[in-house]
Amino acid sequence: AQSVTQLGSHVSVSEGALVLLRCNYSSSVPPYLFWYVQYPNQGLQLLLKYTTGATLVKGINGFEAEFKKSETSFHLTKPSAHMSDAAEYFCAVSDRNAGNMLTFGGGTRLMVKP
């Protein structure tokens, strides 16, 4: 069975500061990993994904994440936070042995202070 843990249900940063959202996963097979963002009253929008190849992946809105197998981590970062980044962020792992179902972490609500 796969699982995802996101450390910190709420993260608050100042505008212009580094954003770091943590994600650790457990998977019995090489994982496919995803970060999704959810703005209020909207669905889940894909930020970035890791499947194979380069371990540092870049996504939309200046976000990137690094897959570290030894640490079973896939942390999301952005060098400089913007007010529009305030949202809920979900890390997910895909189970290729079960129809590609996504297992999500509990989510991290990012707040950006002016």
- Site residues (CB under 8 A) for another protein? 32, 34, 36, 41-46, 49, 51, 90, 92, 94, 96, 98-107
The backbone region for 55, taken as left when phi is positive above 0, alpha when psi lies in -120 to 50, beta otherwise, is alpha
CB of 22 to another protein, least distance (A): 16
Cβ proximity to another protein: between 22 and 96 the closer is 96
Nearest-approach distance from CB 87 to another protein, in angstroms = 14
- Min. distance of Cβ 75 from another protein in angstroms? 19
For 38, counting Cβ atoms within 10 Å of its Cβ (0-12 exposed, 13-18 middle, 19+ buried), the class is middle
Nearer to another protein, 35 or 81 (CB): 35
Strands 87-95 and 108-113: antiparallel
53/114 with CB nearer another protein: 53
CB of 114 to another protein, least distance (A): 27
Q: Give the DSSP H/E element, type plus range, for residue 77.
A: strand 73-78
Contact between 114 and 83 under an 8 Å Cβ cutoff? The reply is yes
Residues 73, 25: Cα–Cα separation, whole Å: 6
Closest to another protein by CB, 3 or 80: 3
